[in-house]
Structure formats: C-alpha cells, structure tokens
Amino acid sequence: MHSTDRLLDAERTSPSAEPRVLHLSRGGTSVVVDLDATPGPAIVHWGEALTGSTPDTLRSLAVAARGQRVSGGLDTTPALTLVPTGAEGWFAAPGLEGHREGAGVSIRLSLADVQAGEHRASLALVDAEAGLAVRVEVRIGPSGLLHQRVTVRNAGATPYTLQATHPTFPLPWDATEVLDTTGHHLRERSPQRRDLGIGVHVRESRRGRTGADSTILLAAGRPGFGFERGRVHGIHVAWSGNHRVLAERTTTGDAFLAGGELLLPGEVVLAAGAAYSSPWVIGSWGDGLTALSARFHDEWRARPQHPRRPRPVTLNTWEAVYFDHSLDRLTALADAAASVGVERFVLDDGWFEGRRDDTAGLGDWTVDTAVWPRGLHPLVDHVRGLGMEFGLWVEPEMVNPDSDLARQHPDWLLRGRMSLPPSARQQQVVDLSQPEAYAHIAGRLHALLDEYPIAYLKWDHNRDLVDAASGPAGGARVHEHTLAVYRLIDDLKAAHPGLEIESCASGGARVDLGILDRTDRVWTSDSLDPLERLDNQKHTGIVVPPEMLGMHLTSPVVHSSGRTVSLGLSGAVALLGHFGIEWDLTSLDDTRRAEIAEWVALAKRLRPLIASGRVIHVDGTDPGIDVRGVVGADAASAVFTIVQTATSAAYPPGRVRMPGLDPARAYRLRVLIRDDDAGQSALEWAESDIVLTGLQLAEVGVRPPVQRPQQAMVVELTAEN
C-alpha cells in the first residue's frame, strides 16, 4: 500500500484495532474514508471542512460511524462502501452489477492498494474469485466539489457484461427532503420536491441524450432547505447519454446519493483485460443551494478551456426568418443587428441542400446552391464587414430519410429492427460510432470550417435516441455514440482553434457537464417566454454558470407561448446570462431599435460581473415577485432584478431583500431599468440617492415597486469607497 501524510497506516489485527483513515480536504470540503470499514472502504464524512482534526479524532470519527449488530440482521452490519454489492450483505442499490453470460454474478471487493494525496485518492479493489479489478478515483476540486469515477477491468478469461456502476455519496441522516427537476420541450428543469423516507427515489433518462425531463441535479437536505440556507447535498452525472441518479435511505441507518451511466442490455461487454470507466459523478453541498451552486460555478470557471473573453451579444435568425432564406432579407437583418450592437450573427436551419422545411436535407451538409448560388460567402462577408462574427446552425448527428446520405447509406442509421424507429421532426440518427459514418460527417464539418470563417456552431440535437442499435437485431449504441460525439467535438475544436460551440437539443434537452466540458454555452430552452424562463434559468443555473446560459430578448408576442410581453420584462430576464436576441429587427422602427440598443449596451457593461460573480436567488419573497441577482466576486458591485410574475398578496407589496453583499460595506442603489409604473405614485427610494449597508439589504430590504404582472425593475448596487 502506498501512503502519504494524509493516509494513516495502522495494522488492523482485530475489530477493535484503530482503523486506517484517509482525509481529503480542499475548497472548504472534507471527505473522510474509513479504509477498514466492513466490508470495504467507506466515506464516513462528506461536507464541512474538518479543520483542527487530528489523526486520533479522525480515527474516532470512523469508529463512531460503524453500526452495531442487531437482531434479525446479519452478524456484521454492512457499511455503505464506495462500491457496495449484494455479496457483501448490502441490500440497497448496488454500486456494481454484472455477469458472465448469466453466471458469475457475485461480487465481493477487497482493498488491494491506495494511492493518495492531499485532495485526491485512487483506491484499487479486487475480487480475484470474480475476476474483477476495480479502481475508484476520488478527488476534491479547487472549490470543494467531490468527483468520483469507477473503472472496472475484466481480469478474468471470459467476457464480462457490465450492467451498472454507481459510486456512492453519503448523506447526513437528517437529509429527508429531495429536490430534482423535470420538464418537457419548452419547459425544461421545472423543480419538484418530495420527502425521502425509507426506500429509494430513482430518476432515469433513457432518451439517449440528457433529456428535457431529466434532473440536472439530485439534491437532498434538511426539510425546507432553500437557496439562502438549509444544509443540502446534491450530485450531477457529467454524461450526455442515458443515466441514472438515486437517493436512498436504508433500514440500517444509511442515507446516500448515487449515480452513473444507465447501460442498456449488453451495451458494455468487457473482453479479457478490457476496462470501462464510468462518467464522473460530481457532488456539491452547502448551507443553501446558492452555496452548493457556487462550488459548481467556481470550479467550472477555473478550467483552462473555460471561455474567457466577453460573451459576444448574439443574434440568432431562427425566429426572424425560419426557413425563408434570401440574401437580401438576411443582409438587412444583419444591418439591423449591427445597428443595435450585436457582435455575433448566427444563421440557423435552412441553408443546406434541399432544406426548405424540416422534412428533408439533414445529413447533406453542403450549401444549397439553389438558394445560395455563390455559397454563403456573400452573407458571411457582409456580416464580417459589419464587425460581427459569423455563426452557423448544424445538426451533425441527425438525418432525414429524404436525404442523399440516408438513401446512399441506410446502414448508417441507428436502428434495432428492419423498420426504422419512430421519427421525430421527420428525422433519424446517424450512428457516429461507425467509422465510415463518423468520417463522412466529420469531413463535411471540417470542409465548412475550412471554407468559411465560422466562429461559432450552434450544434442542435432535435431527437431522442429511440431503439438506438447498430442495425437490425444489433446491439445498443447509445454509449458508443455519445463517446463519438465527444470525440467529434474535440477533433473540430483541435483543428479550428477559437471555434466556439453551443449545445442545443430541442432547446435544453442536452444540458450536462459532460457536453459542457467541451462546448461554450447551452441553449437553455426553445421557450423565450420570460415568465417560463424564470424557473428554467434558475434551476439550470444551479449547475451551469450564467455566462454559459443562452438568454435572449424575444419578440413582443412570444413565438412559443403566444404571450405578449414587454421589452422591459424580456430584457430583465435575459440580462443575467449570455445575452442575445431572437427577433426580426427589420420589422422595428428607429425608436424601438434604440431601446434594444440600450439593453445591448447594458448587457455589455454588466457582462464582466455576470461572468465572474455569484448568482443569488432570494427566498421568502411575495409569491408574485421574483428577486434574483449577481454579486461581484469582490462584493464591490451587484445587479438585481425584481420581476412581477403575478399580482402581489399585499398592495403595495412588502419589502424584498438583496442578500449576498458584504454586510459591513455601504452600497448606493440605482434603478437602471423600470417598466411602466402602472400609473402609481413615485417609489421614493427609487427617486432618491439612497445608501444601505449589505447587512441592511440582506436582512431588512427595500419596498419593491408596485408593478403589473409581467413588469420588471433592474437595480444596480455599487459599494461606497
């Protein structure tokens, strides 16, 4: 066994001998592993940094976590190990399952080796009888996120079919309320809560992509936990294919979260000597969801590949022109975009061969010469001549049966039967795990990027992977396809430095840290309805930092919902993310364009704050009022929005708080934007030169304006010298 100063070695000669304990600590988080727990290594603490701990107190902590024998139970009560299995006497959800053609189902792992440092460890577990070698990687990131990954190697002589591997994250016993999200197209990541009693709560996605109805985070905490307070732990699976997360409380006094890839039957069969590594499962915790979320944001921003330059204000053409592509119309739209300060112009669906609607052309990634006789060069040159970047919509994983690709290579389509799977948006899926299919799609994308100065790809994915197999009577292909997508994106970025990619999937159906580790933002939802977006952006943003969340101004009549909304509401809701526009600006007069230009200028001024600050969601507000903001990392400035979602319970409404600032500093409040005041008298503080301390703002607050439903106010706070 390899040891460091963080690994406490002690010969264990009897159950009463002092245990060997591993203490990892970083970013305000401690993880304590009892290496001698029965039947295997177990995390006995994940959470608050245990400052001041000594080797003796850490050993005592491990002993204090061990359960005693009880009547009617096993002679030794098993612990929640890193990878629990049934042969160890574990009756709850296992951490590893598999078999050898229906035999060899028993797994009992023992610790063989530990390599550890201050904030990471690698534990080798073996089952010689089962012919398995397992390595569990545990590391704490710079902001205190706990990362776990399990690698399973077939050390036997016959193939081993892996069914599941799910690393475990222990919960405090008082974490009895669960929060997750669900949804559908146009309404992704709607929150839902429930009690966590004895038993298991499981969320799965079998859609072949993350899924609009999947949960971005599975969290459990003390009843009533909110954004501002209440201890809570949560996990996220950084994987863009099928996955499973679960929360369970057992009758033996253990509570835990677990997650990983959901493997379809026979999807991973390990030949002798072959290995499988699970996706990283990432856990965070905090006193309130804001603290939990900040760990995700801080660590994601610290990655070397995280986008550093100011996020370009983006105009996407889809809701402006749909499939009606013409050079004159699009150059006029580009002129209008440049006039309001747009920095990136993205040509959406409809530019390629045969694509006059959504029934044909997918897979044939060549410019349609009937619409673009000189290619895209005239439009690209015009856009770049206006000082804007050019972006292009693609959907590389998809194909229409009415396309040259599908007619020439029907064997490249994912299917499990002779007949095609049910279609969605009149399309099927290209099996990118096939080398020839991969090479063809990669070649077309590289050719586009070589021919045109494309700075940005809007990478769409408008179809779940239904019956996704390698051909009639073939094997499941979601796992291999997902890895191929990752490889394709990585290859494109390596060959075209500076290229940025957005993950879009019918809006927000592929939002996870697996895809976001190699892309630069997500399209949060196809719904641009500001009221619908409030919950969506709030709960997507628990995991994803705001500068990676696409948030756009919408036209006055929202295309997805038909709701009529004000520019003030649309702007306020879009302001706290990667700002953009989804609107036919050529239809507006000069006055309206000037108003949009003001919002664009404000977004540009605030984007350094948005890209570096802490996101704040305020609990306990009037049910008809939403208060949220971003506070600078140095707490010198902040911006908050006060959105009226419905009529307030009080008239005028009671005070709202603005937490997250330095309690000892004084802040000057300035109203930046305010919708029509609905004929009410002036709000005195908004018309005054007002200064409040951070403590006063957090604990006492200010009176919000009387606003009609669907109106908003934007407030800037600046610390006094």
Query: Could you give the number of structural domains in the chain?
Result: 4
Tell how strand 454-459 and strand 500-503 pair up. parallel
Q: Is residue 343 located within the same domain as residue 399?
A: yes
What average pLDDT does the segment 260-277 reach?
A: 98
Whole-structure pTM over 0.85, yes or no? yes
Report whether 588 contacts 340 (CB < 8 A): no
Structural domain contains residue 308: no
590 and 447 together in one domain: yes
The rounded mean pLDDT for the chain is 96
Q: From the centroid of its chain, how far is CA 497?
A: 24
Residue 700 has a pLDDT of 98
User: Which residue has 């006039």 as its token pair?
Assistant: 339
Domain boundary among 165, 193, 220: 165
Q: Is residue 277 classed exposed, middle or buried when 0-12, 13-18 and 19+ CB atoms within 10 A define those classes?
A: middle
| Domain assignment of residue 307, yes or no | no
CB 160 within 8 A of CB 72: no
**Does 399 lie in the same domain as 260?**
no
End-of-domain residue from the set 103, 134, 165: 165
Which residue in the list 298, 431, 460, 529 is annotated as catalytic?
460
Residue 677 pLDDT > 80, yes or no? no
For 375-423, what is each residue's pLDDT tens digit? 999 999 999 999 999 999 999 999 999 999 999 999 999 999 999 999 9
Domain at 74, CATH number: 2.70.98.60
So what's the pLDDT on residue 483? 98
Q: Is residue 1 part of a domain?
A: no
pLDDT at 681: 75
Q: How confident is the model at residue 12 (pLDDT cuts 50, 70, 90)?
A: very low
Q: Is the pLDDT of residue 717 over 50?
A: yes
State mean pLDDT over 195-216. Answer: 98
Do 599 and 620 have their domain in common? no
Cα 586 to Cα 518: distance, rounded to the nearest angstrom:
35
Please check the confidence at residue 306 and state whether its pLDDT lies above 80: yes
What CATH number corresponds to the domain at position 689? Answer: 2.60.40.1180
Cα–Cα distance, 592 to 605 (Å, whole number): 20
Task: Looking at the structure, tell me whether residues 220 and 346 fall in a common domain.
Answer: no
**CA 19 to each of CA 8, 40, 68, 114, 619: distance values in angstroms, whole numbers, following the listed order:** 8, 12, 16, 14, 43
Q: Please indicate, yes or no, whether residues 119 and 243 belong to a single structural domain of this protein.
A: no
Q: Same domain, yes or no, for 95 and 143?
A: yes
User: For residue 10, is pLDDT > 50?
Assistant: no
Q: How far apart are the first and last CA of the chain?
A: 56
Between 6-15, 475-484, 712-721, the lowest mean confidence (pLDDT) is in 6-15
Where do runs of H (alpha helix) occur along 555-589?
Answer: 567-574
Q: Over the stretch 88-144, which tens digit does the pLDDT of each residue have? A: 999 999 999 999 999 999 999 999 999 999 999 999 999 999 999 999 999 999 999
Range of the domain at 78: 7-165
The predicted structure's pLDDT at residue 679: 58
Confidence at residue 676, expressed as pLDDT on a 0 to 100 scale:
66
Q: What is the pLDDT of residue 18?
A: 82
Domain contains 112: yes
Given a cut of 80, whether residue 648 has pLDDT beyond it is yes
Residues 337 and 422 in one domain: yes
**Is 698 part of a structural domain of the chain?**
yes
Plot region of 647 (φ>0 → left; ψ -120 to 50 → alpha; else → beta)? beta
In this structure, is residue 276 part of a structural domain? no
Task: Say how far apart CA 291 and CA 402 lie, in whole Å.
Answer: 50
Three-state DSSP at 58 gives helix
CB atoms under 10 Å from CB of 466, counted, come to: 18
Q: Are residues 152 and 194 in the same domain?
A: no
pLDDT reading at 6 higher than 50: no
135: alpha, beta or left? (left if phi > 0; alpha if psi -120 to 50): beta
Q: How many CA atoms lie within 13 A of 365 on its CB side?
A: 20
Check pLDDT > 80 for residue 588.
yes
Catalytic residue, candidates 368, 526, 535, 622: 526
Task: Give the separation between CA 683 and CA 677, rounded to whole angstroms.
Answer: 9
Per-position b or e across 281-307, b if 16+ CB within 10 A of its CB: bbbbbbbbbbbbbbbbbbbbbeeeebb
Same domain, yes or no: 545 and 504 = yes
The reply to whether 460 belongs to the active site is yes
- Could you report the per-residue pLDDT of 246-268, keeping only the tens digit for each? 999 999 999 999 999 999 999 99
Residue 2 included in any domain: no
Sheet containing strand 268-270, edge to edge, reads: 96-99, 160-165, 268-270
Is residue 578 domain-shared with residue 656, that is, in the same domain?
Answer: no
| 102 Cβ neighbours under 8 A, 6+ residues apart | none
Digit-coded pLDDT (tens) for 24-69: 999 999 999 999 999 999 999 999 999 999 999 999 999 999 999 9
**Dist. CA 296–CA 145, nearest whole Å:** 7
pLDDT value, residue 721: 82
When pLDDT is cut at 50, 70 and 90, the band that residue 11 belongs to is: very low
Q: Which amino acid is at 222?
A: R
User: Amino acid letter at 277?
Assistant: S
The answer, yes or no, to whether residue 278 has pLDDT greater than 50, is yes
CATH of the domain at 337: 3.20.20.70
Whether 309 is covered by a domain: the verdict is no
Q: Kindly state whether residues 405 and 457 are assigned to the same domain.
A: yes
Q: Is residue 526 annotated as a catalytic residue, yes or no?
A: yes
Task: Single out the residue in 165, 197, 214 at which a domain terminates.
Answer: 165
d(CA 648, CA 658): 18
